[in-house]
Amino acid sequence: MKKTEPRSEISSALSEADVSSIIGMAWSDDTPFEAIALQFGLGENEVIALMRGQLKTRSFRVWRMRVRGRSAKHGGKREAEQALRLQTRAAVGAAEAVDSGEPEFPVRTTHLKRDALN
């Protein structure tokens, strides 16, 4: 689990409770690195260095494999992916409407005649 002696300067500047909180946040899939940076002032590279110094070698490797490239851990990537998905959906929807000859916004058909509305 956790090593007893921290090897990095980062962990020596933080309290044991802070280090424990950062490790918990880093392991969490829902917590992006940006949240750790806001709360503790550590960037992604500093969190990686802290984790390398605090975890056993195998635990660190498992964590890095889980985190590497994961959009949930990188807020900027997540926002970019969501924007791209929305743009793609809009483009696909517009293309389908043009291809089918239907208007972009579906018009509801009714059996009422104009005279019946007066």
Model confidence at 80: pLDDT above 50: yes
Model confidence at 90: pLDDT above 50: yes
Which residue pairs from 75-83 have beta carbons closer than 8 angstroms and sit at least 24 positions apart in sequence? 75/32, 75/33, 75/34, 75/35, 76/34, 78/32
**The predicted structure's pLDDT at residue 6:** 44
Q: What is the pLDDT of residues 21-72, one digit of tens each?
A: 999 999 988 888 888 999 999 999 999 999 999 999 999 999 999 888 777 6
pTM listed for this prediction: 0.56
Largest CA distance in the chain: 87
Instruction: Give the chain's mean pLDDT.
Output: 75
What's the rounded Cα separation, in Å, for the pair 99 and 29? 41
Model confidence at 95: pLDDT above 60: no
**The predicted structure's pLDDT at residue 12:** 73
Question: Helices in the chain by DSSP H: which ranges?
Answer: 9-13, 16-27, 33-40, 44-54, 57-67, 75-100, 114-117
What's the rounded Cα separation, in Å, for the pair 10 and 22? 11
The ranges assigned to domains in the chain are 9-73
